[in-house]
Structure 1
Amino acid sequence: MKRLLSTLTAAGVIVAGLGMAAPAAATGDTSDKGDKGRPGNSDLQRWAEDTWTSLDAMTDESTGLPSDNITGDLETVGAYTSPTNIGGYLWSTVTARDLGIISHREAHERMSTTLDTLEELERNDASGMYYNWYDPATGAKLTTWPDSGDPVHPFLSTVDNGWLAASLRIVREADRALARQADALYDSMDFSAFFNPEGAPGLPAGTNRGGFWDAAPPGCSVEAPMYNGSGETAFYTCHHYDTTVSESRIATYLGIANGEIPATALYGTHRTMPPGCDWAWQEQLPTGKYRTYQGYEVWEGVYTYAGMSFVPSWGGSMFEALMPDLLVPETKWGARSWRVNHPITVAVQKHHGLDEAGYGAWGFSPASDPFGSYAEYGVDLAGMRSDGYTSDAEKTDVDVDRPGCTEGTNPDPGFGDGVVTPHASFLALPYDRKGVLANLRHLEDDLGAYGPGGFSDAIAVGSGTVADRYLSLDQSMIMAAIGNELTGDTLKRYFVDKEMEKRLRPAMSAQVFSSDWRARE
C-alpha cells in the first residue's frame, strides 16, 4: 500500500480467527447508567442502531453494495449507487461493529462481500478510478438512468472516489484479515489523475478538477492528456475544486498522503474569493490578509456573520465544512486553521436557525427535499455562492451590501419554512455536544422527524413536512459522527498512519486562517 502499516495495539484487541482490531472503548457499556454513562450516550447508541437498520435495509446482500436511498418505511430502494455510498457503507459497518450493533464476524463477512464486488466493478483503466453510478443489485456500470431512462454519460468524480478510497484505508486497519485486499484496491487508485498542476485561474498552486469522462460528454469539458502521465486522453470538467472549505478536500488529503500530488495543493484553493469590486458577485466582500507559504502568496480571506469571522464554504452547508473532519484530525493538525474555523461554522449555523431565522432548530446541508426529491440547504450568508444554498422552503435569498461596490437587494429578509437536516447536526457533535443533543431530541420528540431507520432525511420545521426517506450518504455521516463520539475518534485512528501524518500534517499546521470569534470593528 502507499502508506505504512500503523498499529492499533494500544487502542484495541485482536479478535481470534478474524484478525480484526476492536477499539477498547467499544467494549464498555455506552448507555446511561448512573454515573457510568455520560449523559446522552444512550440516545446516541439508540440513534446509531436505528440508523444502521436503514443502511442494512438498503444494502444488497449478494453484492454488498448499498443503494443511494430507501423510503421511510424501509421497503423501496433506489436502483443506483455511487463510490461515496459504498465508502460510507464500509465505514458504517466498521462503526456498527465497534458499537456492538453487529458481531465482528458479520462485519467481516459484509466488508468481504463488498470488497469482492469492488474488485469486479468496471473502472477507468488509466487511473483505477470508479465510475459514479452503478446498479447495486448487479454491480453493472449505469449507462441509462433507472428512474427516467435518460442516458448516463459515465463520469469519474474526484470527491466520490476520495470517499471510497478513504473507506479502504479504514477497512485495512479495522479488519486486518482484509488488509491485503483493501490495500490492492487502494493502491490501484491514482489521485494524480485529477490534479491539474497549473491550477485554477487566479490561484498560485495546482488543484484538482471535479473529475473527468473518458469519452466526450455533451456540454462543457476540457480535452487533455490525463494528468497522471498515462498517455490516455481525458475529458475533464471545466471547473476545479478551488474552494478550501469543501468536502472535496478529502481527495486532496489522500493525494498528498500517497505522494501523488504535492502538499502545496493546500494553497491552490480559495479561502474566499479575493477582495475588491471585481469579485463583488460573491456573497460578501471579505476581509483578511495575504500570507506567504513556501513562496506561494495566499489570500487568507474571511466572511463575517453575527460578530464571527470565518472561512466560508461554497454553499454555506455543514457537510462541506465538516464531513472530512469525520476522518481527518483537522483540528489537531490545523491548530491555526480548522481548530478555529470548525466551531465557528457550527456557531454560525446554530445562530441562523435559532436566532436570525427563528426556526427553533438548526443544521443545514443538502438533503432530501420535504416537498420534492433533493435540494441544497445551507446558511446563505455563510457561503461564497451569490445565490447560495438557502435554509427555507421558500428559497429566501439574502443579498447584502458590498460597500463601495454594490447595494444589497435583500439585506434583512424574513424567512419561511426552514428545512433542517439532522445529519448536519450530528456533524457538529465535537463542537457543541449539548446543543446537538438538544436539537436532535427536539427534532425527534417535538417534530416527529424519526422513523424505523432513524432520523428522517430532512424536515420543514414550520409546516412539519417530513422528507420520509433515508439517503445512504447522510446515514453514513450520522454513523461516523456517533461512532467517533462514543469510541474516541476511532475512525480517525483507522484512517491515519505515519506516512499520511508525515506528508500532510506539516502543510496543514502551517496554514493560518483569519477566522476569529470576535466582532469585526
Structure 2
Amino acid sequence: MNRRSFLTATTATAAALTAATSLPAAAASAPRPEAEQRLLRAWFAATHRSMQAMTTELGLATDKIDVSGGTPVPSTQTSPTNIGCGLWSTVAAAGLGVISGTAMHRALSRAVAAVERLERAHGFWFNWYDAHDGSLLTAWPETGDPVRPFLSTVDNAWLVTGLRIAADADPLLRPRIAALLADADWSYFYTPYDPADPVAGPGQLRGGYWPDKPGRGEPTAHHYGALNTEPRMASYLGIADGSLPAEHYWHLLRTLLPGMGQEQEPGGGYVTIDGVRVWEGHYTYRGRKLVPTWGGSMFEALMVPLFVPESTWSPGSWGTTHRRYVRSQIEHGVAEEGYGFWGFSPASVPDGGYREYGVDGIGMQEDGYHSLGVVTPHASFLALPQAPAEALANLRGLDRAFGAYDDRYGFRDSVDVTTGRVSDVVLALDQGMITAALAQRLRPGLLQGPFRGGGFAGRVRPLLARERFSL
C-alpha cells in the first residue's frame, strides 16, 4: 500500500474520534445495535477471507500474507499459534453462518490431518514448520539463517486451544484430536516450587525447550513468571487437565516483588492463599490501580479472556483489572500522547518487520514496550468487552482516516498514525484474535465451550474466584 499522509484525516474526523474515545458520551455516537451487528459481521467476513487466503492446500494457516499487490502472498512458515488461529477462525465462521457446517468439517479435517503429520517431541509441536508441506523448518525462508527447532510453551497453548475448540465443534473429529492431545503433558515445561530455593524452583513454566539435547532437552533460561500475560493460557490448560498443580497459579507474579528492578515500585501486600504466600501487588497508572503485564501490550492481558471467562468468574479482580487496563490504553493514546487513536500491541511494523508495541507504564519490564505512534487494530477488537463504543469509534476512525480496512481482507496489521503509513502485512495471530473477539461479541460463548466446563470449571474457576488482587 502506498504511503498515506496523516493530513488525509480531516480535522473533523480527528476531533470526533478524540471525543468518542475520551468522553463518557461516547455511547451517543455508537451505531445502533442492528447497524453494529451488520458492521461487525462485515468485518468478520473480511477477516475470515484473510484467514482463508493464508491457508495452504495442506490446510495450515501461514504466519502472514502480504496484501500490497492484487493477489495476497502467503509466507512459507507457520507456527502452532498460527495453526490454532486457523482452527478457531473456521469454527467461528461456521457458528456465525459465514460458512456451512459441511465446509467447516472439511476445513477442520484437512487441518487436523496436517497437524497429525507434523513432527513433534515430548508430545508437543515445534515452533516453525513449512505451511505448504508440513516439514520442520531448520532454515528461515526469507534469509536462510539457521533455525534451531524449539518447543514453545505459549505457542503450544494456542494450538491446543484451537484443537479443543475444533473438537468441541465437530464431534467426528474428537477421537483424532484426543489422540493428538494424549501426550501433551504440561508438566514437561514445569519447574516445581522449591521453598528452599524459589529462584531455581519457582513453581512456574519455562519459556520452552530445545529438545536436541539428551533427556528433556535444553530449557530456556527464563520462566514465565508474570501472571497477566498470554502464557497463562498454558497454565490454565495444565491446571485444568491435572498435569499442573493448582498451586502453580499462586506462584505466578502479579508484579515483581518490591525492590526488584521493574517499571515502578509496586503497591500491595502479602496474603496467604491455599497455603501459598502470595505478593498481591499492583501498579498505579494515571490514578488507577491495575495488574500490569510484562510489556504493556493489549494482547498480553486480553487474548486469554477471549476463551477463558476470567471477568465472569472473577469480576472484582480480573474483571476490574481488565477494564482499567483498557482505559489506560485509551488514555495513553488519546490524552497522554495525543495521537487521537489508541490500541497498542505487538504487530508488523508499518514500514516492514515486526516489533512489540505497548504502553510502557503498565508493563513490568523496565524498558518495556512503547507505542511509538503505531496503532494496532486487533487491540481495539480485544477491548470490545470492556469498551465497546470506544473500540468501534477507534476502528471506524482508523478506517476513515487511513484506509486501514478493506473488504477483501479486513484490517491491516498496524498504522503509524503520525505518518499515515499502513502496514502491507496481515498476521494470522492478529487476525485470529479479531475473529475470536468478533465471535464473542456477536455470539457470546461461541468459542468458550471447552473452557467453561470440565477441569476449567472444577479446577481453574475456583482459583479465579479466590483471586483478590490489591485493587
TM over 0.5: yes
Q: Is the 8 A contact 2:78 2:130 kept in 1?
A: yes
CA distance in 2 between partners of 1:498 and 1:65 (Å): 28
Indicate whether 1:122 and 2:114 are aligned.
no
Query: SS of the residue aligned with 1:197?
Result: strand
CA distance in 2 between partners of 1:484 and 1:120 (Å): 31
Alignment of 1:365-376 (within 5 A): 365-376=345-356
Indicate whether 1:252 and 2:226 are aligned.
no
| TM-score, length of structure 2 as denominator length | 0.90
Aligned to 1:297: 277
CA distance in 2 between partners of 1:67 and 1:506 (Å): 37
CA distance in 2 between partners of 1:234 and 1:154 (Å): 11
Aligned to 2:443: 487
Alignment of 1:370-409 (within 5 A): 370-392=350-372
Aligned to 1:399: none
Question: Aligned match of 2:54 in 51, 58, 76?
Answer: 58
Alignment of 1:4-153 (within 5 A): 37-61=33-57, 63-72=58-67, 73=69, 74-124=71-121, 127-153=122-148
CA distance in 2 between partners of 1:467 and 1:40 (Å): 26
CA distance in 2 between partners of 1:263 and 1:494 (Å): 19
Residue 304 of structure 1 and its aligned partner are, at CA, apart by: 0.7
* Structure 1 residues 230-260: Cα deviation after superposition (integer angstroms, max 9, x where no partner): xx33211000000011100000000001100
Alpha carbon RMSD of aligned pairs, Å?
1.6
Residue 372 of structure 1 and its aligned partner are, at CA, apart by: 2.5
Aligned to 1:286: 266
Question: Aligned match of 1:165 in 152, 160, 165?
Answer: 160
Q: Is the 8 A contact 2:239 2:455 kept in 1?
A: no
Instruction: Tell me which amino acid in the other structure corresponds to 1:179.
Output: R
* Structure 1 residues 415-442: Cα deviation after superposition (integer angstroms, max 9, x where no partner): xxx1000001100101111111000000
Question: Aligned match of 2:187 in 189, 192, 209?
Answer: 192
Alignment of 1:268-347 (within 5 A): 268-276=251-259, 279=260, 281-347=261-327
CA distance in 2 between partners of 1:500 and 1:294 (Å): 18
Question: Aligned match of 1:215 in 205, 212, 224?
Answer: 212
Q: Is the 8 A contact 1:205 1:264 kept in 2?
A: no
CA distance in 1 between partners of 2:409 and 2:236 (Å): 32
Q: Is the 8 A contact 1:205 1:267 kept in 2?
A: no
Instruction: Tell me which amino acid in the other structure corresponds to 1:138.
Output: D
Q: Is the 8 A contact 2:191 2:202 kept in 1?
A: no
Residue 201 of structure 1 and its aligned partner are, at CA, apart by: 4.3
Residue 285 of structure 1 and its aligned partner are, at CA, apart by: 0.8
Query: SS of the residue aligned with 1:336?
Result: helix
Indicate whether 1:426 and 2:374 are aligned.
no
Residue 496 of structure 1 and its aligned partner are, at CA, apart by: 2.9
CA distance in 2 between partners of 1:286 and 1:379 (Å): 17
Aligned to 2:392: 437
Residue 108 of structure 1 and its aligned partner are, at CA, apart by: 0.6
Q: Is the 8 A contact 1:79 1:135 kept in 2?
A: yes
Q: Is the 8 A contact 1:257 1:504 kept in 2?
A: yes
Indicate whether 1:448 and 2:403 are aligned.
yes
Indicate whether 1:261 and 2:261 are aligned.
no
CA distance in 1 between partners of 2:40 and 2:199 (Å): 45
Residue 336 of structure 1 and its aligned partner are, at CA, apart by: 3.3
CA distance in 1 between partners of 2:296 and 2:240 (Å): 28
Aligned to 2:7: none
Q: Is the 8 A contact 2:349 2:414 kept in 1?
A: yes
Aligned to 1:402: none
Equivalent pairs: percent with the same residue? 47
Q: Is the 8 A contact 1:204 1:268 kept in 2?
A: no
Query: SS of the residue aligned with 1:207?
Result: strand
Aligned to 1:405: none
CA distance in 2 between partners of 1:208 and 1:357 (Å): 36
CA distance in 2 between partners of 1:371 and 1:79 (Å): 20
| TM-score, length of structure 1 as denominator length | 0.81
Q: Is the 8 A contact 1:88 1:476 kept in 2?
A: yes
Query: SS of the residue aligned with 1:163?
Result: helix
Aligned to 1:29: none
CA distance in 1 between partners of 2:254 and 2:234 (Å): 17
Q: Is the 8 A contact 1:85 1:473 kept in 2?
A: yes
Q: Is the 8 A contact 2:240 2:454 kept in 1?
A: no
Q: Is the 8 A contact 2:310 2:318 kept in 1?
A: yes
* Structure 1 residues 335-360: Cα deviation after superposition (integer angstroms, max 9, x where no partner): 33211110111000001011101111
Query: SS of the residue aligned with 2:311?
Result: helix
- Runs of 4 or more above 4 Å deviation: 199-205
CA distance in 1 between partners of 2:205 and 2:179 (Å): 24
Q: Is the 8 A contact 2:295 2:364 kept in 1?
A: yes
Q: Is the 8 A contact 1:94 1:171 kept in 2?
A: yes
CA distance in 2 between partners of 1:374 and 1:136 (Å): 20
Query: SS of the residue aligned with 1:302?
Result: strand
Indicate whether 1:348 and 2:328 are aligned.
yes
Segment of structure 1 superposing worse, 497-506 or 78-87: 497-506
Residue 514 of structure 1 and its aligned partner are, at CA, apart by: 1.4
Could you tell me which runs of 5 or more consecutive residues in structure 2 were left unpaired when the two chains were aligned: 1-30
Aligned to 1:506: 462
Tell me: higher relative CO, structure 1 or 2? Use CA pairs within 8 A at least 6 residues apart. 2
Residue 135 of structure 1 and its aligned partner are, at CA, apart by: 0.3
* Structure 1 residues 238-290: Cα deviation after superposition (integer angstroms, max 9, x where no partner): 000000111000000000011001011111111111113xx2x3111111111
Instruction: Tell me which amino acid in the other structure corresponds to 2:62.
Output: S
Residue 43 of structure 1 and its aligned partner are, at CA, apart by: 1.1
Aligned to 2:24: none
Could you tell me which runs of 5 or more consecutive residues in structure 1 were left unpaired when the two chains were aligned: 1-33, 217-222, 224-231, 393-417, 516-521
